[in-house]
Amino acid sequence: MNLILSLLLATTTLVHQQDAEQQTAKPRQGTYAITNVRIETVSGGTIDNGTIVIKADRITAVGTDVVVPEGAHVIDGTGLRVYPGMIDSGTRLGLTEIGAVQETNDSSELGDVTPQMQALSAINPNIPQIPVTRVSGVTTVIAEPSGGLLPGTAALINLVGYTPDQMHAGGVLLLVLSFPVNRTPRFFRGGSPPDDFDPDKKYREAVEKLDEIWDRAELYDRIDAAYAENPNLSTHPEYVPEMAAILPVLRGEMILMVKVNARKEIEAAIEWVQERNIKRVIFSGVSEGWRVADKLAEAGIDCLVGPIFSTPTRESDRYDRAYANIGMLADAGVNVAIRTGQSENVRNLPFNAGFAAAYGLGKERALRAVTLGPAEMFGIADDYGSIEVGKKANLMLTNGDPFEPATQVLGVFIDGFNIPIDSRHIRLYEEFLHRDEGRVQPVQVQPAVN
Amino acid sequence: MIFKRLSLFSGLVMTLGLFSASLSSAQSNVVNDVLIRGATVLTITNGTLQNTDVLVQDGVITAIGTDLRAPGGIKTIDADGQYLMPGIVDAHSHIALSSVNEGSSPVTSEVTMEDVVNPYHIGIYRALAGGVTTSHLMHGSANVIGGQNETIKLRWGMINPDDLRFKGAPRTIKFALGENPTRNHGRRGSSGSQPGIRPSSRMGVEAVLRDAFSEARNYMREWADYESAKLNHPRQTSPPYNERLEVIADIMRGEILVHCHSYRADEILMLMRVLEDFGVHNITFQHANEGFKVAPELAAFGAGASVFADWWSYKFEVYYSTAYNATILTRNGVVTSINSDSGELNRHLYHEAAKTQRYGDLSDDEALSLITINPAMQLGIADRVGSIEVGKDGDLVLFDKHPLSVYAIAQKTFVDGVQYFDRETDRDDQRLRVDPSAKLDTYMEQETGVHRFVKSEYVTLDILFEQN
């Protein structure tokens, strides 16, 4: 039996131990102890030969002198390592199933100003992409809508659960603003741009539109506040869903996630969020952040950077700019997290982190950028992002550096659920590796022609 | 025509002396001798050699060993602690092409990518920086029988497209099955609202193939009849010449290798049956996301598979895929490669190969074979490239760490012993000539996934020309 199969079986056994009669391996909470394991806490260094105790959804003990509770399912972690589960800070996971099949795509709604659209409502908890992703150690992702200027609200989700509400992590929602772009798109739907296409004009109009929307939202905010103060004296203000969706951002209750990439647009976006006095703001994408890293650092704006696997934004740029961008931002003092921008291949998050590490970010900061970094940015660091007593049990168990392709992820806990290391990809492997093994009569295969 | 336009431009530029010295010198004053000392040499075909020297003379590997003597004045590189592997061979690429699809007919064997190679495409340099030295420039997948492909070496800085050709590489041709040809021809418009032509189904794809091969067989017979009749009847007139059928005839004569865009197991089996009926045996299935389901049949036919490491679910016919595809194919004896089909992905094919150690248990040599000797076999150039052996071309790439590590960075890339990429001297600004007024803000959305629908529509230095 080859290495991976035996490892897979070893992990499946974890689940079978607790419930041998179960036919289908399914995620299960309980009391677990991972012993003799190297613990990469992220927040408090490395603990060798340590033990982690998990009860229900929480980590209840971490350290070297931990008593394993009676009745706990014990997982011997000798030679293995535990890391916090990885967080992908920008994906379409759950919102799309098959890229080219329109009927399965729900990440984009008609219209330019649709902030009331809720990505969380369209998450499909049961698509095969979710198990495919989580067995890689990615436990939590931002699922974001896209499309117009204000396409809706993104949500942070754990990759376990049967309803979007069960998946919703830390109640995190972010209002998405796709900052206006000043460029001629390379690709127009249905052909080339019209001859009179004027990117400057289009950009000015889009910024004016954004300002107008924001003026109105601020007015709506004042009316709403006035009514709340004096409900008996005022008439009930008209409900405008678009405006109501922006309110939490104006009041500092929700983060505004500004999607912005090119240099001059990043500069314009910095000015805009400062003028508008946006209290909680994060930039996402930021592929040309390295050109204005100092300005981003000075503005104190956190950045969700990626995909790392991108070509440089300009033909003339160094070939490795997209790999190096995040490290240059971090060097300038910007808080960074990594986003893959992916749907079915969010599992490449650790490899995005590995390339970021190699091209300047370094391993330690890269690990932070997929764990505690984003948890802090999203305001959920009390519950997520590191291995500490009292935090959510979102963990991965590996036999090595999680960013190295050859490393196997042997166990995953999300929200305290022991996740079966199982996915459609693994099942197809198990079925087809030796496809005809199950036949009584051996198959007559024609001899090779050459 | 495109050749003429390009060479006119470049001739002009050269005359005006605008080309940087480093690039123009690549042609006139080629240094193709190099001694790389003390590397860990990943030969692919002969294991890993520690602390070994590799000597390249006149573009060819002439010695592999320890303490090799450098012939007088030869450039020597100290590669102590570094890893030397053969240049990566990308069996499916669309870089350096000014057009990709001649989608006007289900059969377009008469067109060839040879006519549309663009030596200025920045994608060549970016691929080199990821250790690629040979790329198989393929026609698109709009047609059942598409155009002929072109195998090139990434000789960045050349001006004449012909200087990029992999001389001696066999001719290859693109076929395509499934959703793309049926959508492009049979089901035009949204949901097939416009009338189309065959094929609109996988049955139709088979029929188009059989018709084309049958027609070509008749054509061969007519010409054979004419050739023999001519001996007795000198005034016999020849049948009309037909380039489209000539090319298909060459496939049946075994002179052209077939590389077929395919996904589903059923269509892979179908093409093998059709090829068997027409005596064609050189076939590599490109993409072959469901190749793992028919791996024993592929192995028995002697067919190759050139796959993605992990792409899936971007369209319906790749929904039932597995990232373990390359491993299953390899374990069943299929000659398998991992390709890029992308100007982003071809920059890290060594990393794509490494994924077979997460999704499967391939050894280092097996994993690296997927991007070296195996694609070389599929392209019919394994006698020249794909491994580090004496007598093979000096196509080499030096990494600072083992190339299957996620932290590895390519340091130097050689094609025919000529160094075309050096990380040490790589420039922040890749423009050949900086024009402060040039507007190069040609930014495009970088979300991965975009390339699935819009492949290789890059504009390159003509941006500069337009600005001036």
CA B265 to chain centre: 23
Who's near A153: CB < 8 A, 6+ residues apart? A115, A116, A117, A118, A119, A120, A145, A173, A174, A175, A176, A245, A254
Q: What is the DSSP string of A165-231?
A: HHHEEEEEEEEEEE----S--S-BTTBSPPTT--HHHHHHHHHHHHHHHHHHHHHHHHHHHHHHH-T
Co-location of B227 and B98 in the same domain: yes
* DSSP H or E stretch at residue A325: helix A321-331
Report pLDDT digits (tens) over B145-204: 999 999 999 999 999 999 999 999 999 999 999 999 999 999 876 566 677 899 999 999
B20, B278, B358, B434: which to substitute to probe chain A, counting the most A Cβ within 10 Å? B358
CA distance A145 to A168: 15
CA distance A250 to A196: 37
**Is B442's pLDDT higher than 90?**
no
B322, B361, B460: which to substitute to probe chain A, counting the most A Cβ within 10 Å? B322
Q: How confident is the model at residue B352 (pLDDT cuts 50, 70, 90)?
A: very high
CA distance A132 to chain B (A): 10
CA distance A177 to chain B (A): 15
Q: How many CB atoms lie within 10 A of CB A143?
A: 25
Q: What is the mean pLDDT of chain A?
A: 93
In a domain, B13, yes or no: no
Query: Looking at the partner chain, which of A307, A316, A425 has a beta carbon nearest the beta carbon of B322?
Result: A425
Burial class (CB in 10 A: 0-12, 13-18, 19+), B283: buried
List the domain range (segments joined by +) for residue A13.
3-84+415-434
Q: What is the DSSP string of B96-114?
A: TBS----TTSSB-TT-BGG
In a domain, B11, yes or no: no
Co-location of A303 and A333 in the same domain: yes
Who's near A197: CB < 8 A, 6+ residues apart? A184
CA distance A58 to A36: 19
Co-location of A52 and A130 in the same domain: no
Co-location of B82 and B132 in the same domain: no
CATH code for the domain of A8: 2.30.40.10
Min mean pLDDT across A120-124, A344-348, A445-449, B27-31 is at A445-449
Q: What is the mean pLDDT of residues B297-313?
A: 97
In chain B, which among 402-431 make CB contacts under 8 A with chain A? 404-409, 426-431
CATH code for the domain of B56: 2.30.40.10
CA distance B428 to B299: 47
Report pLDDT digits (tens) over A252-287: 999 999 999 999 999 999 999 999 999 999 999 999
* DSSP H or E stretch at residue A354: helix A349-356
Co-location of B330 and B262 in the same domain: yes
Here the tokens at position B431 are 């423009």
Co-location of B98 and B242 in the same domain: yes
CA A158 to chain centre: 9
A311, A346, A348, A404: which to substitute to probe chain B, counting the most B Cβ within 10 Å? A311
C-beta of residue A334 within 8 angstroms of C-beta of residue A302: yes
pLDDT of residue B11: 41
pLDDT of residue B427: 84
Is B296's CB within 8 Å of A436's CB? yes
Co-location of B266 and B130 in the same domain: yes
Q: Please, what is the angle between helix B202-232 and helix B265-277, to 10°?
A: 10
With a pLDDT cut of 90, the percent of chain A lying above it is 85
Min mean pLDDT across B15-19, B27-31, B78-82 is at B15-19
SS3 A154: strand
Who's near B374: CB < 8 A, 6+ residues apart? B304, B335, B336, B337, B386
With a pLDDT cut of 70, the percent of chain A lying above it is 91
SS3 A418: strand
In a domain, B1, yes or no: no
Q: What is the mean pLDDT of residues A115-128?
A: 98
C-beta of residue B158 within 8 angstroms of C-beta of residue B119: yes
Report pLDDT digits (tens) over B199-234: 999 999 999 999 999 999 999 999 999 999 999 998
Q: What is the DSSP string of B366-417?
A: HHHHTTTHHHHHHTT-TTTSSS--TTSB--EEEESS-TTSTT--EEEEEETT
SS3 A413: strand
Q: What is the mean pLDDT of chain B?
A: 88
With a pLDDT cut of 90, the percent of chain B lying above it is 81
Co-location of B55 and B176 in the same domain: no
In a domain, A397, yes or no: no
Q: What is the mean pLDDT of residues A120-131?
A: 98
In a domain, B287, yes or no: yes
DSSP A377: H
Last residue of a domain, one of B385, B414, B446: B385
pLDDT of residue A260: 98
Report pLDDT digits (tens) over A96-109: 999 999 999 999 99
pLDDT of residue A444: 63
In a domain, B360, yes or no: yes
Co-location of A322 and A234 in the same domain: yes
Min mean pLDDT across A445-449, B80-84, B393-397 is at A445-449
In a domain, A142, yes or no: yes
Work out how many domains chain B is built from and give that number.
2
Say which residue, A403 or A193, is predicted with more confidence.
A403
Co-location of A14 and A161 in the same domain: no
C-beta of residue A104 within 8 angstroms of C-beta of residue A97: yes
pLDDT of residue B25: 39
* Separation of first and last alpha carbons in chain B: 22
In a domain, A337, yes or no: yes
Burial class (CB in 10 A: 0-12, 13-18, 19+), B354: buried
**Is A392's pLDDT higher than 80?**
yes
Q: How many CB atoms lie within 10 A of CB A235?
A: 8
Co-location of B259 and B159 in the same domain: yes
SS3 B219: helix
Q: How many CB atoms lie within 10 A of CB A72?
A: 18
Co-location of A229 and A153 in the same domain: yes
CATH code for the domain of A253: 3.20.20.140
CA distance A350 to A404: 8
List the domain range (segments joined by +) for residue B328.
88-385
* DSSP H or E stretch at residue B173: strand B171-176
Q: What is the mean pLDDT of residues B347-373?
A: 98
Query: Looking at the partner chain, which of B321, B406, B448 has a beta carbon nearest the beta carbon of A358?
Result: B406
Co-location of A46 and A159 in the same domain: no
Bridge partner list, A141: A88, A157
CA distance A384 to A309: 26
pLDDT of residue B324: 98
Co-location of A231 and A255 in the same domain: yes
Q: What is the mean pLDDT of residues B122-151?
A: 97
Amino acid occupying residue A308: I
Say which residue, B14 or A196, is predicted with more confidence.
A196
DSSP A357: I
Co-location of A275 and A307 in the same domain: yes
pLDDT of residue B300: 96
Co-location of B201 and B237 in the same domain: yes
CA distance B407 to B404: 9
Who's near B397: CB < 8 A, 6+ residues apart? B84, B85, B86, B87, B88, B131, B133, B403, B410, B412, B413, B414
Apex CA B350: angle with CA B346 and CA B354, to 5°?
130
CA distance A360 to chain B (A): 10
Sheet strands (E) in A68-194: 73-76, 81-84, 86-91, 138-143, 152-158, 168-178
In a domain, A184, yes or no: yes
Q: What is the mean pLDDT of residues A20-42?
A: 87
Co-location of B159 and B271 in the same domain: yes
Work out how many domains chain A is built from and give that number.
2
Co-location of B419 and B279 in the same domain: no
In a domain, A400, yes or no: no
Co-location of A228 and A375 in the same domain: yes
A315, A361, A423, A430: which to substitute to probe chain B, counting the most B Cβ within 10 Å? A315
pLDDT of residue A54: 98
In a domain, A19, yes or no: yes
In a domain, B440, yes or no: no
In a domain, A119, yes or no: yes
pLDDT of residue A278: 98
Say which residue, B23 or B449, is predicted with more confidence.
B23
Co-location of B70 and B93 in the same domain: no
CA distance B301 to chain A (A): 5
Provide the sign of the torsion angle of the four alpha carbons B126, B131, B133, B138, taken in this order.
Answer: negative
The residue of chain A with its CA nearest to that of B446 is: A310
Bridge partner list, A85: none
How long, in residues, is chain A? 450
Apex CA B193: angle with CA B191 and CA B194, to 5°?
130
In chain B, which among 337-366 make CB contacts under 8 A with chain A? 343-345, 347-348, 351, 354-355, 357-361
Nearest to A126, CA basis, from A424, A426, A429: A424
Q: What is the mean pLDDT of residues A47-75?
A: 97
Apex CA A423: angle with CA A354 and CA A92, to 5°?
60
3-state SS, one letter per residue, for A243-309: HHHHHHHHCCCCEEEEEECCHHHHHHHHHHHHHCCCCCEEEEECCCHHHHHHHHHHHCCEEEECCCC
Co-location of A186 and A268 in the same domain: yes
In a domain, B399, yes or no: yes
In chain A, which among 261-290 make CB contacts under 8 A with chain B? 261-262, 285, 287-288
ipTM score of complex: 0.93
CA distance A82 to A73: 16
In a domain, B439, yes or no: no
Q: What is the mean pLDDT of residues B410-429?
A: 94
With a pLDDT cut of 70, the percent of chain B lying above it is 85
Co-location of A63 and A130 in the same domain: no
Co-location of A298 and A178 in the same domain: yes
Q: How confident is the model at residue B70 (pLDDT cuts 50, 70, 90)?
A: confident
CA distance B144 to B142: 7
Q: Is B322 on the interface with A (CB under 8 A)?
A: yes
Co-location of B323 and B218 in the same domain: yes
Q: How many CB atoms lie within 10 A of CB B311?
A: 22
Amino acid occupying residue B6: L
Min mean pLDDT across A72-86, A110-124, A233-247, B38-52 is at A233-247
